[in-house]
């Protein structure tokens, strides 16, 4: 049996690492990389650090508008699928690579498994929400990380093929955190001391492509006077330059703007941060797993459990709310009631697929 895994963006490399390890015990796997992310620190560093198998196909689609990017991927993936004829296609998360992979497969009548199915922010202005909803509705096997995700799918009438497995990012974190603590020297390299700094990541279109929002976020960071380490996504760096915000950041003595870091360094920076400011989906979850208070620079989140449990607060791009949360937000207690699985989601996914496809 042959499975084709389709990935293209940073969080997908992290998600596929534990799943691929398990899948290869049951299947022949081929990896198709769309080329959505291509800079060394957005791409290759993850394959090297996490021992992910090299892609069998690299489509090199690169950056562009949604139509250009998704269309290019669709064409490239279709060609590979026609040649390889896998028994199943596996897609992850909610990026344009996810949707293109699923769409190419369904038209060729190839079964689709979606890892991280059922997530909803209920905000259709976010490209990720469109990608998730459409992918879920054409998938045959839907691997939901949480109870909430299962309920979301049921409400949309999707009942067959839904499995509650837990979250593969939790698997990845459990597997790598000890390695990260041993190997990473990032705190020394950056001159950071545990719990004496905050971490920020910003890359979502609603924040970066909107000058008012990005400026308000940066002003809040600068005015907080807290030491904030800020590994900037290339998209964000581009817009910081476009909006003339780079000079402001360079002048500010409390903002440490650095290139994106590898996963092991990221885990260490996250674990030792006093608070995390982010619009990332994955980083919100990792903050929760590591018990670091999270301030989410969005109006809505698909990871509602982290908010319900008091470890995450939604502040959008509002300067005074961000500043207030930096100063005052503390988790409401020791509650830690939501489960993202038991660290064996990847094993369950591989087992379910091997049972189902053998039939
Ligand atoms: C994509 C996903 C987003 C996910 C994020 C993970 C979509 C619609 N968005 O957003 O859901 O959270 O990945 O990081 O799929 N760029 C580079 N080098 C790279 C990659 C990107 O310079 O290696 C720059 C380019 O200017 C590009 C911009 O970043 O135009 C945006 O990249 P793109 O892949 O389109 O979207 P992301 O913002 O990365
Ligand atoms: N990440 C990383 N280095 C960074 C920023 C993020 O390794 O400089 C990791 C992070 O730990 C998490 C994943 O990338 O595992 C999240 O991806 P991202 O924020 O790009 O996308 P999202 O989760 O929002 O889709």
Q: From 38, 234, 266, 294, give the residue whose CB has the most ligand 2 atoms within 8 Å, as the site to mutate.
A: 266
Q: 3-state class of 258 per DSSP?
A: strand
> What whole-number distance in Å separates Cα of residue 237 and Cα of residue 39?
13
ipTM summary value? 0.99
What structural domains and CATH numbers belong to the chain?
A: 2-167+342-358 (3.40.50.2000), 175-328 (3.40.50.2000)
pLDDT digits (tens, 9 = 90+) for 53-99: 999 999 999 999 999 999 999 999 999 999 999 999 999 999 999 99
Q: What is the pLDDT of residues 220-273, one digit of tens each?
A: 999 999 999 999 999 999 999 999 999 999 999 999 999 999 999 999 999 999
Name the pLDDT band for 358 (thresholds 50, 70, 90): confident
Predicted local distance difference test score (pLDDT) of residue 212: 98
pLDDT at 338: 80
Looking at ligand 1, which atom is closest to the CA of residue 36? 34
pLDDT higher than 70, residue 355: yes
What are the distances in angstroms from CA 5 to CA 48, 101, 112, 293?
Answer: 18, 9, 10, 34
**Residue 335 pLDDT:** 73
Which pLDDT band holds residue 18 (cuts at 50, 70, 90)?
A: very high
Catalytic residue among 33, 37, 114, 203: 203
pLDDT tier at 359, thresholds 50, 70, 90 = low
Residue 336, pLDDT > 80, answer: no
Nearest CA to ligand 2 atom 15: 282
DSSP 133-191: HHHHHH-SEEEESSHHHHHHHHHTT--TTEEE---HHHHHHHHHHHHHHHH--HHHHHT
Residue 198 corresponds to which tokens in the numbers above?
């905050």
Q: What is the pLDDT of residue 333?
A: 72
pLDDT digits (tens, 9 = 90+) for 96-119: 999 999 999 999 999 999 999 999
Cα 154–Cα 9–Cα 114 angle in degrees, nearest 5 = 25
203 is catalytic: yes
CA-proximal residue: ligand 1, atom 21 (nearest):
37
265 lines ligand 1 (CB under 6 A): no
Give the SS3 label for residue 239.
helix
């Amino acid at each position: 049996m042959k499975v084709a895994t389709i990935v293209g963006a940073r969080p997908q490399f992290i998600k596929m690492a534990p799943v691929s390890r398990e899948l290869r015990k049951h299947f022949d796997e081929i990896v198709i990389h769309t080329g959505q992310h291509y800079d060394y620190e957005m791409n290759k560093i993850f394959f090297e650090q996490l021992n992910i198998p090299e892609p069998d196909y690299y489509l090199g689609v690169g950056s562009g508008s949604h139509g250009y990017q998704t269309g290019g991927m669709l064409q490239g993936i279709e060609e590979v699928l026609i040649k390889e004829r896998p028994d199943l296609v596996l897609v992850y998360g909610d990026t344009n690579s996810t949707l293109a992979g699923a769409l190419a497969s369904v038209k060729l009548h190839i079964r689709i498994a979606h890892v991280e199915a059922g997530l909803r922010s209920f905000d259709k202005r976010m490209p990720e929400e469109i990608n998730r909803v459409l992918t879920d509705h054409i998938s045959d096997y839907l691997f939901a990380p949480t109870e909430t995700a299962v309920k979301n799918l049921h409400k949309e009438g999707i009942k067959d093929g839904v499995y509650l497995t837990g979250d593969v990012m939790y698997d990845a974190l459990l597997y790598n955190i000890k390695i990260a603590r041993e190997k990473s020297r990032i705190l020394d390299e950056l001159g950071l001391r545990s719990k004496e700094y905050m971490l920020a990541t910003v890359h979502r279109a609603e924040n970066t492509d909107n000058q008012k929002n990005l400026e308000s976020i940066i002003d809040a960071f600068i005015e907080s006077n807290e030491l904030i380490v800020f590994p900037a996504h290339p998209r964000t760096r581009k817009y910081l330059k476009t909006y003339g915000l780079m000079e402001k950041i360079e002048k500010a003595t409390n903002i440490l703007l650095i290139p994106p870091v590898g996963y092991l360094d990221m885990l260490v920076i996250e674990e030792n941060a006093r608070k995390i400011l982010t619009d990332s989906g994955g980083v919100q979850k990792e903050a929760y797993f590591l018990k670091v208070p999270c301030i989410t620079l969005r109006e809505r989140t698909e990871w509602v459990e982290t908010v319900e449990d008091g470890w995450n607060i939604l502040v959008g791009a509002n300067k005074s709310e961000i500043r207030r949360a930096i100063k005052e937000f503390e988790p409401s207690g020791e509650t830690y009631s939501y489960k993202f699985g038991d660290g064996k989601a990847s094993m369950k996914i591989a087992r379910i697929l091997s049972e189902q496809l053998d039939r």
